[in-house]
Structure 1
């Protein structure tokens, strides 16, 4: 099983009945295994892993495009655990912050972080500065930046984009607010 995957892509299904464990280059949520790197999937026994396409790990720099998962939400910002920098894997200890004023190009004062991102969302963002000693400052203020992958808060199923600001659960039709990334 050697398929190319991107960060946040589901690697296992909860309905298969087989219990698969997360190996290197993966993470789990709700019993499902997801890719944490751009790379090839391999399965050894009951363990899924992803080997990165490039062995060198990237370091975020200003203007780099990063992909990360939302790990925490506050009223003022969303914190991301960075997974890739310009398509190359990075160390797992890099974090980034998307402040409310860096979410959109317009109507910056009316942005509510909770209506744009949720914990577990996979987000594409641009590094705008090196920030402080713990985090990089990120922006999603472009049409191609924002949430790439999200799961429904009620059913746990993958959401599909329906507009720049909404994603829908295909099974229930329930709509959730997000700052959705458009195609590059």
Structure 2
């Protein structure tokens, strides 16, 4: 009879093992610099096949999830200046967080092209809801974000009238009430049914 092994408990950001041809990251983990790290506070599960061992972390509570490099997050723009905008990260993928994380989006990470021509006030305004990708960590407690992909940028914005604006181009949104246009770095939102059909 096999003796029962104690479960391995881990915390968010904890390095679990090397990431190689045998050990592969599964749900609740991410790979960075050749190692597998935990995204959650939870129990480590190893799912072994002949060729691989998938390292998974089963969360004790869903809310111990933290943003990891490469994650797509939903954030609210809190403050905008010429060099960057400060954001509050509200969701990671489909998971709504119980508390927001601080994010910063620098001018050079707004678009992939014409970086020197970017004006932060023409890309974002406080209160905008944006989709952004998490960059590798450089500062503790602040996540660096980028919107330098077509699918990333402003998804919800309100006009001065308080009405939800409609995207009219990559760089503009329009108020359906007053027809005033405002500059934004607009996200190209791909409907879910299109993603599922691919």
Return the TM-score normalized by structure 2: 0.63
1:1-184 matched pairs, under 5 angstroms: 56-57=62-63, 58-152=65-159, 154-184=160-190
Runs of 4+ more than 4 Å apart: none
Per-residue CA deviations over 1:72-111 (Å, capped at 9, x if unaligned) read 1121001110011122123424111110000000000111
CA RMSD, Structure 1 to Structure 2 (Å): 1.2
Q: For residues 84 and 161 of structure 1, what CA distance do their matches in structure 2 show?
A: 22
Unaligned runs of 5+ in 2: 1-60, 191-198
Q: For residues 129 and 120 of structure 1, what CA distance do their matches in structure 2 show?
A: 25
Return the TM-score normalized by structure 1: 0.67
Q: For residues 151 and 88 of structure 1, what CA distance do their matches in structure 2 show?
A: 24
Q: For residues 106 and 173 of structure 2, what CA distance do their matches in structure 1 show?
A: 21
Q: How many residues align?
A: 129
Per-residue CA deviations over 1:18-43 (Å, capped at 9, x if unaligned) read xxxxxxxxxxxxxxxxxxxxxxxxxx
Is the contact between residue 133 and residue 147 of structure 2 (CA under 8 Å) also seen in structure 1? Answer: yes
Per-residue CA deviations over 1:119-172 (Å, capped at 9, x if unaligned) read 0000000001223123111000000000010000x2111101001100000011
Q: Which protein shows a greater Rg?
A: 2
Q: For residues 98 and 123 of structure 2, what CA distance do their matches in structure 1 show?
A: 26
Is the contact between residue 151 and residue 189 of structure 2 (CA under 8 Å) also seen in structure 1? Answer: yes
Greater RCO, CA 8 A, separation 6+? 1
